[in-house]
Structure formats: C-alpha cells, structure tokens
Structure 1
Amino acid sequence: MTAFRTTGPEGEPVTLAEAKAHLRLQHDSEDELVTGLIRAAREEVEAATGLALMAQTWRKVLDALPRDRTVRLTPHPVREVLSVTVFGEDGEGSVVNPAGYAVDAVSRPARVHFKTPLVPTASLNGIEIDFVAGHGEAATDVPDLLKRAMLVLVAHWYEFRGVHGASDQPVSYPAGYERLIAPFRRRRIA
C-alpha cells in the first residue's frame, strides 16, 4: 500500500504578506526565498503531523484488499472519496459503485470499508482509491496553531539560511515548534 499526492493545494495556509510581516521584511528582494520557505514549512508541518493542511488530492494504491476489507487513508482529514477503481490484467479500469463501500472520514486515520471483496486481476497496484484530504480550500480553514508553527519555521529557517548549505536544511527546529504541533500529532497507545 502506498499513498501519493496527485494534486497539490491551490494555495498556502500562510501568505507571503503574513510571512513578511512576521519577519518584519519591507523589501521584495527575497520574496522568492520566503515563498519557498512557506512551502517547505507547510510540507514539514504536514509530514510531522500526518495532516493535509489545505485541500489536496491523494491516491492510495493497493495490490489487494486487507482481510478485514477496510483500507485506512492518510493524510488526515479526509474530506471525500472521489473514486475507487479496480484494474484487470490488461490494465482496464472498472469504477466501483459507491454503494459498495462505506467511508468513515471522522476516524483518524479515515477508513473505507468494502461490503464485498474486491478482486483485482492485475497482480500489482490493482486497486486505486482517489480522495481529497485537507482542512479546507481556504487558509482560514487551517487551525491557527498550525499556521503559527509554519511562521515559526519560516522565521527560523530564514534567520539561519546562511549558516548551513541548502542541502543540509533543515538543520534545526526552533524552540516551541514541537509544542505548537503536539496537539495535532497522531498518538498511538503502546
């Protein structure tokens, strides 16, 4: 099982203007750098929390269904399952009727339970589940603590950009970053 993003978010939770105000930058000469830091900060927060901050499309690919016929979807929150496709050995796809499965988007991770077994005849990657994950389309849909964590990262990386080379980044995380994202991390019971 693997999941990958097929369409990224249309925007970022933090705007260039917000980041520049946080950095107290009044010139435009480093806008490209700050824009890249915003994108990197979003990706870091998403990776650390297992969340999709802004709406984006993902695809989960499986060889076969698990024995319990329940597939777990990440990242969280899952907003909608767009389609489930089963492939034959010649590569022909067949879309599964949504009445054949139930979606639990409330749980973390979200789950898709199939009422009957799916039997792909393709030996590898025979099942694809396309879904939308993210808090919403607008930056205002993203929790403020996560946006604050992004701004803290942007400021830290901006401040220490010359100390280490680009290939060494991120070298460190700022104080307080872990505390900001802690409520959003997925916890496991040992």
Structure 2
Amino acid sequence: MIPIRVAGPTVEPVGLAEMRAYLRLDSDAGGAEDALIGSLLAAARAGIEAATRRLLAPGRYRIMLTAWPTDGVLPLPLSPLVAVERAGLVDAQGAVTDLPAGLVRLGPDPVEAPDLRIDPGAPPLDARAALVEVSAGYGGDGLPVPPALAQAIRLLAAHGFEHRGDTAAPPPSVAALVEPLRRLRL
C-alpha cells in the first residue's frame, strides 16, 4: 500500500514575496529570478520533507487496499493527517460505492503516529478493493507549518540562491532546526 498523491500543493509554505524580502531583493525584478526562487523553494521544501518525514504542504492522497488490516489499524507514512476525505468499495468494473461516515477514521495522534482506524463493522472486501482518500500536510485546513521548518526552508533556499552552481554544503543551522522535528522510524 503506497499512498498516491492525487492533488498536490497549490501553495508553498514559504511564499515567493516572503522569500524575496528575506533575500532583500527588489520586489519589481520578477521574471527568471522569480522562477529560480520558486524552484529553490520547492526543492528546499522537498528536502526538509524528506529529512523530517512530514508533509509541509497540503495534499490529497489515495490509498487502495485489497484487505482490511486484521487489527483495524492502518499506519500511514503521511504526517500530519488532516481528514478522511472519502472511503469506499471498488467493484470489478471500477465503480466506487461510498462507505458510511465513521467506518474509516483518523487515529488518535495524526501528527506523530498517523494511522487510520477501520471499524470492525466495515464490510468484507471479498472480490472488491477499498479506496481511501485522505488529506494530509501542514497548511490549508491542517496545522500551520512549524516556524522552525519554515525557517529551515528559507535558509536552504537562500543558500541555494547564494551558491548557484557551487557544491557547498548547506549551513549547519538547517540541520539544527530540522532535527528536533524529525519523525523517527522503527
């Protein structure tokens, strides 16, 4: 079971105008410089997401299951989970029948131990599959991005801007900001 992103981030956690101000750039330059800063922000966000195992921009994810978990708990690699958007059964022809609300719900700690809880009364899958769509990530309808991670994005993007074409290592302050918020894996 691998979550598939079906709707990506529409807004980066650190905006272009905010980053231009952080870099002390004129606000009217625009053009290629804005494209560069936008790509540096996206790359910095992706790097911080990989380091922390947290989603820093909101998105919608689809999960397909061929069997319900035996203990009723489905751990997910998406943190923080925000909501179960849809849960349904898919028949052999691909038609989806929505399940009643509450049969698939968020676990008690959607930030540090994100999981879904499947009600024991959920219908058996037999020759069907289950489709579950969740929204996850900071921003949007979820929790705000932790300030330390937003600062890490700014520092990493600024480092990329200042060292274009260089192979200079990122500043140690980025790792210091990220480390306390890293989700550990067992």
Whether TM-score is above 0.5 comes out as yes
Instruction: Give 2:34's aligned residue.
Output: 31
Distance (Å, rounded) in 2 between the aligned partners of 1:188 and 1:162: 34
Q: What's the offset of the Cα at 1:139?
A: 11
Distance (Å, rounded) in 2 between the aligned partners of 1:156 and 1:94: 49
Q: What's the offset of the Cα at 1:54?
A: 2.9
Moved over 4 A (4+): none
Q: What's the offset of the Cα at 1:25?
A: 2.3
Q: Which runs of 5 or more residues in structure 1 are unaligned?
A: 165-170
Distance (Å, rounded) in 2 between the aligned partners of 1:13 and 1:174: 20
Question: What number of residue pairs does the alignment pair up?
Answer: 180
Q: What's the offset of the Cα at 1:74?
A: 2.9
The residue identity in structure 2 corresponding to 1:86 is L
Q: What's the offset of the Cα at 1:188?
A: 4.2
TM-score, normalization: structure 2?
0.84
Note if contact 1:78-1:105 (Cα within 8 Å) is conserved in structure 2: no
Change (3 A) 1:137 1:94: same
Distance (Å, rounded) in 2 between the aligned partners of 1:65 and 1:135: 28
Instruction: Show the 5 A alignment for 1:27-106.
Output: 27-28=29-30, 29-104=32-107, 106=109
User: Among 160, 163, 180, which residue is 1:160 paired with?
Assistant: 163
- For the pair 1:114 / 2:118, whether they are aligned, the reply is yes
Q: Which runs of 5 or more residues in structure 2 are unaligned?
A: none
Identical-pair percentage: 30
> Greater shift after overlay, 145-154 or 17-26?
17-26
Deviations 1:79-128 (A, max 9, x none): 11011122222222222212323421524332222223531514xxx222
What is the root-mean-square deviation of aligned Cα atoms in Å?
2.4
Deviations 1:2-25 (A, max 9, x none): 012111122111111221222232
> Greater shift after overlay, 54-63 or 6-15?
54-63
